[in-house]
Structure 1
Amino acid sequence: MPEYTVLAVLSVVATIAVERWWLRTGLLRTAQYWLSMAIVAFFMVLTDGWLTKLSAPIVRYDEAQTLGVRVPWDIPVEDFLFGFSMVTLTMLLWVRRTRADGTTQGSNR
């Protein structure tokens, strides 16, 4: 399996494992989380699609390091996996931190 693909899949597995066995925020079970991920995915398609479009790429990938699956607008599927991991882990840590501090999302410190 290509290296970039392996790392992308491992990032998702690691993120879910961190939530399941360490942070335990319950965030992945909320509608707010999935709505925010839909918003992130929308903007990711716009920006990543523009950056990776095969007709005039700004960012190029070594095709030997990916599966070669590009959905929509020529975006490598691995980008969605890494995007999920980065955004989800950030949100998980944010929720954990605000709960530990006793703060709420909208409060000013």
Structure 2
Amino acid sequence: MPEYTVSVVLGLVVVVVLELAWLRTGLFRSVRYWVSMAIVLGFQVLVDGLLTRGSRPVVAYDDSQNLGIRCPPGIPIEDFGFGFVLCTAVLLGWVRWQRRDARLSADS
């Protein structure tokens, strides 16, 4: 399996298991989370599309390192998984940190 694809799949597994088995923030049940992911997706398609399309793209992918499946306008499918992993990991950390701070404040 191509390197970029393996990295994205591994990241997806790690972030989902992290939330469901350890952090348990409830983020995946939050409407705000899914709305934020839709906003991220919209901007990702816009920006990633501009960077990866055309005869002289700013970012060129070696299709031997991914599945070679591209969504319009030329975005490798793995980029969507990578965006999900990146944003979800940051939000999980944010929620966890806020709850930690709230517990520390309550104990003071």
Where does 1:19-98 land on structure 2 (aligned, <5 Å)?
19-98=19-98
Query: Counterpart of 1:5 in structure 2: which amino acid?
Result: T
Q: Which structure shows the higher helix fraction?
A: 2
Q: TM-score, normalised by structure 1?
A: 0.90
Query: Counterpart of 1:90 in structure 2: which amino acid?
Result: V
1:23-74 deviation line (CA, Å, top 9, x unaligned) = 1100011111000000000000010010111433100111101100011200
Using the alignment, how far apart are the partners of 1:28 and 1:101 within structure 2?
21
SS at match of 2:72: coil
Aligned positions, number: 103
Partner of 1:106: none
Gaps of 5+ in 1: 104-109
Using the alignment, how far apart are the partners of 1:53 and 1:43 within structure 2?
15
CA RMSD of aligned residues (A): 1.2
Using the alignment, how far apart are the partners of 1:24 and 1:54 within structure 2?
42
Identical residues among aligned pairs (%)? 54
> CA 1:54–1:5 in structure 2 vs 1: closer, same or farther (change >3 Å)?
farther
SS at match of 2:56: coil
Largest Rg, 1 or 2 = 2
Partner of 1:107: none
Partner of 1:17: 17
SS at match of 2:75: coil
Using the alignment, how far apart are the partners of 2:9 and 2:73 within structure 1?
21
Using the alignment, how far apart are the partners of 1:37 and 1:55 within structure 2?
30
Runs of 4+ in 1 over 2 A off after TM superposition: none
Gaps of 5+ in 2: 104-108
